[in-house]
């Protein structure tokens, strides 16, 4: 797969090459000096007469006869016991003397018991140069290049010692991603916006005729898992033009200026390969607001400045489109979001009921489904789920069908998969005491009764006291009858009452309270606080916004917008609402105490009951004692 043209012969590359050559020559010289020092021992010069005297004393171990000198190795002064298996030069002293025309030299050496080495011939100068300089130079250059390439890859380089500032984008062409818009469901508005961009790349004439210009960039915004990256891959599959894909973190390095260099190189390649599409995932990694606060990153800010400059500088008529994706649009620099850079914001939000059903169909088309599967019911049970959640549910259902020994996936597999995603798998090794099981049963039936006895609630789908791996000892599952986008004041209060009904049942039956209601209390308090501070439903504060949402697409954390005194008053109002809903829950359960006992006894026996069984037992006439 081609990766675009890379400019060669730049001044930076030439300087880098010269640096490598100088370092290689320096290392080769040091290597030669080291080898010479290792192979050459300390050699003293003596006279020929001294040499003959050594032969007479039989202290010469060997003589090496060269063209202009004799190299004498004296026998070691160590005793045989100390020598052991002594190597040739170990413990010996070396001397040299000039070579004299002595016809009796060979005989003298034999009589002295010294070994004689014949004269050696000098090697070829060319061969000596190659072995001493060329081969070490080539070896050092190859090793250093390999090391730099490895370091460059680890630090985000493009794969070579002279590519540290090159961009690292993956490039796709044609349908290499294997994804088209047919594989994306539940995001029709987003697909429509991106399909227009793809159509502009293919048929630009009909747009330019009327005077329309191609948007320079489109920003995909939405919660995690909604399909932003999938949409970008679908654009690659539909566009049939070069498609560069990379993450915002690929630009940011520890060295200031590297990210800016990569941005320049990326846009240079994009212009050379126009028309094309560049996709930058998690663009908030480089696009954060330049606030100049403590802890700001100079490298990231320089990279952002370069990105802003490049997006202003390129000609959109050539067909280069920048796609960005983020789930933190509130932290992006305002200069990055203005028209002329990212002209269009594409919201990729959580899918509605119809969208969830379509997503389930897309992910279920390769799964063998039984005739009883109703994806509409599954979509109803997964309100608030995103594409990634639904894909996981389909896969979990298929895995469960295999575990159960079936060749097709049925409805029970899907509903169990929903429960696995929501509450975790059944924890079979957790054994509760009879008293604990009884408390949990009354707690869950308290939730269910409060749901059934109020008007503005969703019907009960299932009640269970089987522990789950995510920490719940039991739960009551509700199933909406239709998709809802708004909640009324009465619905919120009834929901708070339902959440508090579990603890209320414990108080009525056991005259005590347990830790099992901690999650219920947390959710009820958060809902009551939103009731007062965000939704403007409290009469005490009228329609004043006392809190705002931060990180809307992530944790949705609330931020206070009022004074300390007002915040204390908010706490008082929240406490009042909780108390009123608690009293209402106690009253509902006290009035239906007999039904509470009857349903709890059935739940203790069966451990899990359906919504139909619950309603049937609720409407049974109480048996009269004879």
What's phi and psi for 233, nearest 5 deg?
A: -65, -35
- And the tokens for 76? 């070691």
HEC profile of 412-438: HHHHHHHHHHHHCCECCCCCCCHHHHH
pLDDT at res. 4:
39
Q: What is the DSSP string of 144-197?
A: HHHHHHHHHHHTT--SSTT-TTS---EEE-TTTT---GGG--S-HHHHHHHHHH
607 is annotated as an active-site residue? no
**Count of domains for the chain:** 4
Is residue 24 assigned to a domain?
A: no
Domain endpoint, select from 287, 314, 347:
347
Is residue 359 assigned to a domain?
A: yes
Q: Would you say 160 and 152 are in contact if contact means Cβ atoms under 8 Å apart?
A: yes
Of 186, 64, 179, the closest CA to residue 119 belongs to 64
The whole-angstrom separation of Cα 229 and Cα 326 is: 10
pLDDT at res. 51:
83
Mean pLDDT of 580-601: 94
Top pLDDT among 72 and 173 is at: 72
The whole-angstrom separation of Cα 151 and Cα 159 is: 9
| Most confident range, picked from 289-293, 316-320, 497-501, 542-546 | 497-501
Mean pLDDT of 52-75: 81
Same domain assignment for residues 339 and 357: no
Q: Would you say 227 and 184 are in contact if contact means Cβ atoms under 8 Å apart?
A: yes
Is residue 580 assigned to a domain?
A: yes
Q: What is the pLDDT of residues 522-564, one digit of tens each?
A: 999 999 999 999 999 999 998 998 988 877 777 777 888 889 9
Is residue 81 assigned to a domain?
A: yes
CB-based burial of residue 103 (10 Å sphere; 0-12 exposed, 13-18 middle, 19+ buried)? exposed
Is residue 165 assigned to a domain?
A: no
Same domain assignment for residues 304 and 375: no
Is residue 151 assigned to a domain?
A: no
Is residue 281 assigned to a domain?
A: yes
The whole-angstrom separation of Cα 533 and Cα 561 is: 9
Query: CA-based diameter of the chain, in Å?
Result: 143
pLDDT at res. 405:
92
3-state helix, strand, coil in the chain (%, to 5): 50, 15, 35
Of 250, 318, 312, the closest CA to residue 279 belongs to 250
For 517, the domain range is 434-618
Q: What is the pLDDT of residues 423-469, one digit of tens each?
A: 777 776 677 888 999 999 999 999 999 999 998 888 898 899 988 87
Q: What is the CATH number of the domain that holds 331?
A: 3.40.50.300
Task: Kindly tell me if the per-residue pLDDT of 418 is higher than 80.
Answer: yes
Is residue 22 assigned to a domain?
A: no
Q: What is the CATH number of the domain that holds 389?
A: 1.10.8.60
Same domain assignment for residues 371 and 480: no
Same domain assignment for residues 59 and 174: no
| Most confident range, picked from 28-32, 79-83, 180-184, 622-626 | 180-184
Top pLDDT among 471 and 520 is at: 520
Top pLDDT among 178 and 563 is at: 563
Domain endpoint, select from 280, 315, 347:
347
Same domain assignment for residues 468 and 330: no
Q: What is the CATH number of the domain that holds 588?
A: 1.20.58.760
pLDDT at res. 623:
55
Q: Lowest-confidence range among 3-12, 276-285, 311-320?
A: 3-12
Bond into 275 cis (ω within 30): yes
Percent share of the chain, pLDDT over 90: 25
| Most confident range, picked from 36-45, 103-112, 542-551 | 542-551
Same domain assignment for residues 321 and 363: no
pLDDT band at 32 (very low <50, low <70, confident <90, very high): low
Residue tagged active-site, from 444, 506, 547, 573: 444
Same domain assignment for residues 460 and 526: yes
Same domain assignment for residues 395 and 274: no
Of 96, 118, 240, the closest CA to residue 173 belongs to 240
Mean pLDDT of 323-327: 90
Q: Would you say 248 and 322 are in contact if contact means Cβ atoms under 8 Å apart?
A: no
Percent share of the chain, pLDDT over 70: 79
| Predicted TM-score of the model (pTM) | 0.66
The whole-angstrom separation of Cα 485 and Cα 488 is: 10
Same domain assignment for residues 198 and 338: yes
| Most confident range, picked from 35-44, 203-212, 523-532 | 523-532
Same domain assignment for residues 439 and 411: no
Q: Would you say 482 and 377 are in contact if contact means Cβ atoms under 8 Å apart?
A: no
Same domain assignment for residues 323 and 203: yes
Task: Kindly tell me if the per-residue pLDDT of 392 is higher than 80.
Answer: yes
Same domain assignment for residues 384 and 446: no
Alpha carbon distances (Å) from 371 to 61, 88, 368, 590: 99, 90, 10, 44
Task: Kindly tell me if the per-residue pLDDT of 574 is higher than 90.
Answer: yes
Q: What is the pLDDT of residues 495-510, one digit of tens each?
A: 999 999 999 999 999 9
Domain endpoint, select from 117, 151, 178:
117
């Amino acid at each position: 797969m081609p990766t675009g043209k890379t400019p060669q012969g730049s001044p930076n590359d030439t300087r880098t090459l010269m640096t490598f050559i100088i370092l290689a020559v320096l290392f080769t010289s040091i290597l030669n000096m080291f080898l010479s020092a290792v192979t050459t021992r300390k050699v003293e010069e003596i006279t020929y007469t001294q040499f003959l005297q050594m032969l007479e004393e039989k202290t010469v171990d060997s003589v090496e006869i060269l063209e202009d000198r004799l190299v004498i190795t004296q026998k070691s002064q160590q005793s045989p016991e100390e020598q052991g298996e002594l190597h040739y030069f170990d413990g010996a002293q070396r001397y040299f003397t000039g070579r004299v025309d002595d016809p009796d030299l060979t005989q003298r050496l034999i009589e002295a018991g010294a070994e004689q080495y014949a004269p050696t011939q000098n090697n070829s100068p060319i061969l000596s140069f190659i072995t001493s300089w060329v081969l070490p130079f080539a070896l050092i250059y190859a090793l250093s290049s390999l090391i730099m390439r490895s370091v460059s890859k680890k630090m985000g380089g493009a794969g070579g010692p002279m590519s540290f500032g090159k961009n690292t984008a993956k490039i796709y062409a044609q349908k290499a991603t294997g994804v088209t818009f047919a594989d994306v469901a539940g995001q029709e508005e987003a697909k429509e916006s991106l399909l227009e961009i793809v159509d502009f790349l293919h048929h630009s004439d009909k747009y330019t005729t009327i005077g329309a210009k191609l948007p320079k960039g489109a920003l995909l915004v939405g919660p995690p898992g909604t399909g932003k990256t999938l949409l970008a891959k679908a654009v690659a599959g539909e566009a049939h033009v070069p498609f560069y894909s990379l993450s915002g973190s690929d630009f940011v390095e520890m060295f200031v200026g590297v990210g800016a260099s990569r941005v320049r190189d990326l846009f240079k390649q994009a212009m050379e390969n126009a028309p094309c599409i560049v996709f930058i995932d998690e663009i908030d990694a480089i696009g954060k607001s330049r606030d100049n606060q403590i802890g700001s990153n100079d490298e990231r800010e320089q990279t952002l400045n370069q990105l802003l400059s490049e997006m202003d500088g390129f000609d959109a008529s050539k067909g280069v489109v920048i796609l960005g994706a983020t789930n933190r649009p509130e932290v992006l620099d305002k200069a990055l979001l203005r028209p002329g850079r990212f002209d269009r914001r594409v919201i990729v939000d959580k899918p509605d009921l119809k969208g969830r059903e379509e997503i389930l169909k897309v992910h279920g088309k390769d799964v063998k489904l039984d005739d009883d599967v109703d994806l509409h019911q599954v979509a109803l049970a997964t309100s608030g789920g995103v594409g990634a959640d639904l894909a996981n549910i389909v896969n979990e259902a298929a895995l469960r069908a295999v575990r159960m020994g079936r060749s097709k996936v049925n409805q029970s597999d899907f509903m169990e998969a929903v429960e696995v995603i929501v509450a975790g798998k059944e924890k079979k090794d957790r054994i509760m005491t009879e008293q604990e099981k009884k408390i949990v049963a009354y707690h869950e039936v308290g939730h269910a009764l409060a749901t059934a006895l109020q008007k503005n609630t969703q019907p009960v789908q299932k009640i269970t006291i089987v522990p789950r791996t995510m920490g719940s000892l039991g739960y009551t599952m509700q199933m909406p009858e239709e998709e809802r986008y708004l909640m009324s004041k009465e619905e919120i209060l009834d929901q708070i009452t339902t959440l508090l009904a579990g603890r209320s049942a414990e108080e009525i039956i056991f005259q005590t309270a347990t830790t099992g209601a901690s999650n219920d209390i947390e959710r009820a308090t958060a809902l009551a606080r939103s009731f007062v501070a965000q939704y403007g439903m409290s009469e005490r504060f009228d329609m004043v916004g006392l809190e705002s949402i931060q990180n809307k697409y992530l944790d949705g954390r609330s931020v206070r917008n009022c004074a300390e005194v007002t915040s204390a008053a908010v706490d008082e109002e929240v406490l009042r609402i909780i108390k009123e809903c608690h009293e209402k829950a106690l009253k509902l359960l006290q009035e239906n105490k007999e039904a509470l006992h009857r349903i709890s006894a059935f739940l203790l026996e069966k451990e899990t009951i359906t919504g139909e069984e619950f309603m049937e037992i609720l409407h049974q006439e109480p048996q009269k004692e004879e």
